[in-house]
């Protein structure tokens, strides 16, 4: 089979495009924060441009930024990371590509949760890697469990996210520890997508590096740091894999975007970031309280900025529901089928990445849309 034929459209981006053509559309679809990064980000970006910093950096990225990231891990998790184990990437998408390229060969299998971020499986298909979708749901608190992996003895890597997209759940400390220990014992690579770390409202997020030096951790500046357009992420690898990663990055990216790297040096303003987190928490509380009156919701999200809502009592086809809601009410949401096959036709994902006034208007339109369905 032609591998490109297996790569499906990223549905949410198609919805974003369509919604942009609708006047006064309400946006619940895309996971792009509308809040601003710390002011120093803009100051350092401007400074880099004025100083004509348009050259390549080394392929792994600016060492002083990698040192800042290492300091972040020590401050937040009390984990001591050698900056030489950190590589800066073109967004977290670049990090996924690097991880899959160096950890897996064509034909090998990577375990993914179902539902999960759509691009994981598409990166796998791009590299002729086989994604194995393992169902997670309300009964497992949307967490992958080691006992589920026992049924898949031939997998070479496990890839999870916490807080997750699309559900917003956090893996418990106990379960994350069990998963990393299982993978270490079975000599299976454990990939932890931690892009929503920092955007947590109940409980505490844990990095996989607290439990295993062998874990591959991916994070970036798009979500918590509110820098999506700068396209800058990072990957933390075991020392013995760094040269392989560097070779891939030399050939595929040359280097991460230079101005973005200089700008990101100003991102670690924790007072500013905490103010942003509290705004997202307020939005979550508002939207959850509104949506639970309308839809069935399995659990209140603990982190990220998503709510996973069951729309089955109105429509058993989430794609059609999302299309009709956009066309008839001007409200953009993401259909669950973008995230996998495990009952996803029953769900839609809401993103609370706009202000409460915007969301209030969206809720009123949804209520009117549903009244007209009756």
Q: What pLDDT, in 10s, does the model give residues 33-60?
A: 999 999 999 999 999 999 999 999 999 9
Average pLDDT on 58-86 reads 98
Residue partners of 139: CB distance under 8 A and separation at least 6: none
Domains and CATH numbers, the chain: 3-36+271-372 (3.90.1150.10), 53-267 (3.40.640.10)
Q: If you count them, how many residues does the chain have?
A: 374
- Residue 20 pLDDT > 90, yes or no? no
Residue 74 region by backbone torsions, left for phi larger than 0, else alpha for psi between -120 and 50, else beta: alpha
- Residue 306 pLDDT > 80, yes or no? yes
Q: How confident is the model at residue 9 (pLDDT cuts 50, 70, 90)?
A: confident
Rounded to the nearest 10 degrees, the angle between the axes of helix 318-329 and helix 356-373 is 110
What mean pLDDT, rounded, does the chain reach? 96
CA distance 323 to 1: 30
Nearest CA to 198 among 38, 26, 27, 46?
38
β 109-114/86-89 pair status: unpaired
Average pLDDT on 265-280 reads 99
CA distance 303 to 320: 28
Nearest CA to 159 among 128, 130, 200?
130
Q: What is the pLDDT of residue 70?
A: 99
* Largest Cα–Cα separation, the chain: 62
- Residue 28 pLDDT > 90, yes or no? yes
- Residue 322 pLDDT > 80, yes or no? yes
Q: What is the pLDDT of residue 25?
A: 93
Q: How confident is the model at residue 1 (pLDDT cuts 50, 70, 90)?
A: low
What would the pLDDT profile of 164-187 be if each residue is shown by its tens digit?
999 999 999 999 999 999 999 999
CA distance 178 to 182: 6
Average pLDDT on 304-328 reads 95
- Residue 147 pLDDT > 80, yes or no? yes
Q: Using CB atoms within 10 A of its CB, is residue 39 exposed (0-12), middle (13-18) or buried (19+)?
A: exposed
Rg (CA), the chain: 20
- The side-by-side arrangement of strands in the sheet containing 296-297 is 296-297, 306-310, 347-351, 334-335
Q: What is the pLDDT of residue 131?
A: 97
Average pLDDT on 245-264 reads 98
Q: What is the pLDDT of residue 107?
A: 96
Give all strands (DSSP E) within the chain, no chain letters: 26-27, 86-89, 109-114, 130-135, 155-161, 189-193, 216-220, 233-236, 296-297, 306-310, 331-332, 334-335, 347-351
User: Residue 51's CB: how many other CB atoms inside 10 A?
Assistant: 10
- Residue 275 pLDDT > 90, yes or no? yes
What would the pLDDT profile of 77-126 be if each residue is shown by its tens digit?
999 999 999 999 999 999 999 999 999 999 999 999 999 999 999 999 99
What would the pLDDT profile of 194-236 be if each residue is shown by its tens digit?
999 999 999 999 999 999 999 999 999 999 999 999 999 999 9
pTM for the model stands at 0.96
């Amino acid at each position: 089979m032609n591998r490109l034929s297996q790569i499906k459209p990223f549905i949410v981006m198609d919805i974003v495009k369509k919604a942009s053509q609708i006047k006064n559309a309400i946006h619940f679809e895309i996971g792009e924060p509308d809040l601003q990064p710390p002011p120093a980000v803009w100051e350092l970006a401007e400074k880099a441009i004025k100083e004509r910093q348009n050259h390549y950096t080394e392929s792994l990225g600016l060492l002083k930024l990698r040192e800042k990231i290492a300091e972040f891990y020590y401050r937040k998790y009390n984990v001591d990371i050698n900056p030489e184990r950190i590589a800066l990437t073109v967004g977290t998408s670049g990090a996924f590509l690097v991880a899959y390229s160096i950890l897996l060969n064509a034909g090998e299998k990577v375990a993914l949760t179902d539902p999960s971020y759509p691009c994981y499986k598409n990166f796998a298909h791009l590299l002729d890697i086989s994604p194995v979708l393992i169902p997670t749901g309300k009964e497992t608190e949307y967490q992958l469990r080691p006992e589920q992996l026992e049924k898949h003895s031939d997998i070479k890597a496990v890839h999870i996210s916490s807080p997750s997209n699309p559900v917003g759940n956090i893996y418990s400390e106990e379960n994350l520890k069990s998963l990393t220990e299982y993978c270490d014992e079975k000599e299976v690579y454990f990939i932890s997508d931690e892009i929503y770390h920092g955007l947590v409202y109940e409980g505490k997020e844990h990095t996989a590096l607290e439990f295993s030096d062998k874990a591959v951790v991916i994070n970036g500046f798009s979500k918590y740091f509110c820098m999506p357009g700068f396209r800058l992420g990072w990957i933390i690898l075991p020392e013995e894999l760094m040269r392989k990663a560097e070779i891939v990055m030399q050939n595929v990216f040359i280097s991460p975007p230079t101005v973005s790297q200089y700008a990101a040096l100003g991102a670690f303003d924790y007072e500013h970031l905490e103010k942003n987190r509290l705004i997202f928490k307020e939005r979550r509380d508002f939207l959850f309280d509104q949506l639970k009156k309308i839809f069935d919701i399995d659990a209140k999200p603990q982190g990220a900025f998503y709510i996973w809502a069951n729309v089955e009592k109105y429509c058993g086809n989430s794609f059609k529901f999302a299309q009709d809601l956009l066309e008839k009410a001007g409200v953009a949401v993401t259909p669950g089928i973008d995230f996998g096959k495990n009952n996803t036709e029953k769900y839609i994902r809401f993103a609370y990445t706009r202000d409460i006034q915007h969301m209030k208007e969206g809720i009123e339109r949804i209520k009117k849309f549903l009244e007209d369905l009756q």
